[in-house]
Amino acid sequence: MDKARFDRLHIKLFLAIAGAIAALTLAAYFVYTTSFERGFVQYLNRADEVRLDSMVRRLAEGFDRERGWAWVAGDRQRWGEMSRDALGLPRPAEEGAPAQGPRRDTPLTIDPRLMLFDRDRTQLVGRAEAASSAVLKPIDVQGATVGYLGYVPRPEIVQSIERVYLTRQRVAFGSIAIGMLVAALLLAAGLAWWLTRRITLLTRGTHALIQGNYGVRVDAPGHDELAQLARDFNTLAATLTATREARQQWIADIAHELRTPLAVLRAEIESLQDGVRPLDQTSVASLATETARLARLVEDLHTLSMSDVGALSYHKEPVELAEVIGDVVDAFARALDEKSLRIETQLDPRLRVLADEIRLTQVFGNLLQNNLRYTQSPGRVLVTLRRDGDSAVVSWEDSGPGVPEHDLPRLTERLYRVEGSRNRASGGSGLGLAIAKAIVEGHGGTLAARASALGGLAIEIELPLAAR
């Protein structure tokens, strides 16, 4: 249970963000304190060098004046005063003199570490135990070395006032680090809450979709990736809603399409059984017509289902597109004449496509079937074939009646028919254009409907040309 509790997105985000910022803060704290301490010690050492040079000059002047070291070697008070004067430290208040302000014991930072050696490096002044670690600075008088000023370098951990200063700096850096850690925790908590709140909304919406509630929508404020994901979720929900409605309508339409020929067959058979109609060639022909209509509908549904699962087979080879269209037109010539439809063709004979000739024949046959069903007599059909870049474009136009503009995008939907002149009474099942579109797309092309300049409907098919 504890493991599951920590295996949550907001916990992971909080730990990741807070941990990263905390690690950076601690690293910055240690780097800053260490570098500052080392830099400060180096600064003090360089300052010592400058002060010691001043001490060396005073010792050289005293040696030249007194002709030896007796003036300072035997006088510790003078040595202390010289050290204070050279280093700029205040002298102790003289006995009986009024103190200037509150008395403070100024910690000496250099003179306890100073030593004086003669030219033979014999120690004259200073602590004997520190002589072995002293650094010697030569004291020259008139070009000759007359002695050495020794000093012990500052240790890595400085003492006295410098130690106090470094401690204060560490406290300041620590306060800043703690403030940054608190800010990191607040930032991580806020960011984790903000992200997981939006993701939680998407999660709830997804669960609603799983349960079949396609009407759910989530807010999509902003323009970041999560907002885009929310908009995509809403689009998905709308698509699922439309798909469910289309499926329901599809099932209802199929049931209606199957019910009509079955009802006619049942009525015909019952009339024959009851002796209302005689069993002659006319009755048999009527039964055959309804059976053929039912078989054609089932075959069309089978073709579409095969196309949906990608199982509709194609035997593609280079095909002269003009010849295929010409053969289909010749096959329907008599039916077109009987319907008083005049067909005109303008075909470019040089265009070849890689296609299944039988399937393309089915496409163009469906288009001519639509012309026979829906185009009013007398009428006109115009078929053109032209090249557009690397594609062959077939334009199939007829005269009236036309199709309303808002119905054009839906003409290729299954079982969809336009109310009015192009309706179910004309004998179509509403699957012809859907099958034609599926076959064309199976050849890597497109099929679209538009208004015709002849007053009716225009179907435009675009197919990729075959490589030479």
Q: Using one digit for the tens of pLDDT, what is the confidence trace for 352-410?
A: 999 999 889 989 998 998 899 889 999 999 999 999 999 999 999 999 788 888 888 88
Whether 424 shows a pLDDT value over 60: the answer reads no
Asked whether 452 and 458 are in contact (CB, 8 A), the reply is: yes
Are 204 and 240 in a shared domain? Answer: no
Give yes or no: residues 120 and 27 share one domain.
yes
Closest CA to 463 of 395, 368, 402: 395
Last residue within a domain, chosen from 261, 281, 308: 308
Q: Is pLDDT above 50 for 97?
A: no
The last residue of one of the domains, among 308, 340, 362, is: 308
Residue 422: the pLDDT is 46
Q: Are residues 359 and 278 part of one domain?
A: no
Mean pLDDT is lowest, of 10-24, 158-172, 278-292, for 158-172
320 or 32, which is more confident? 320
Q: What are phi and psi of 464, to 5 degrees?
A: -70, 140
**Are the CB atoms for 257 and 415 separated by under 8 Å?**
yes
Containing structural domain, residue 146: 1-89+107-213
For residue 289, CA distances in Å to 1, 37, 293, 294, 300 come to: 70, 103, 6, 9, 16
Task: Provide the percentage of residues in the chain whose pLDDT is more than 90.
Answer: 23
Same-domain pairing of 57 and 179:
yes
**Among the listed ranges 24-33, 99-108, 321-330, which one has the minimum average pLDDT value?**
99-108
CATH of the domain at 279: 1.10.287.130
Do 236 and 326 fall into the same domain? no
The span from the CA of 116 to the CA of 100, in Å, is 33
Given 308, 328, 363, the domain boundary residue is 308
- 5 has a pLDDT exceeding 70: no
Q: Note if the pTM is more than 0.85.
A: no
| Domain match, 7 and 153 both | yes
Answer whether residue 100 is part of any domain.
Answer: no
For residue 120, pLDDT over 80 is answered with yes
pLDDT one-digit tens code per residue, 35-80: 776 676 677 667 777 778 888 888 888 888 888 888 888 788 888 7
Tell me how many domains the chain contains.
3
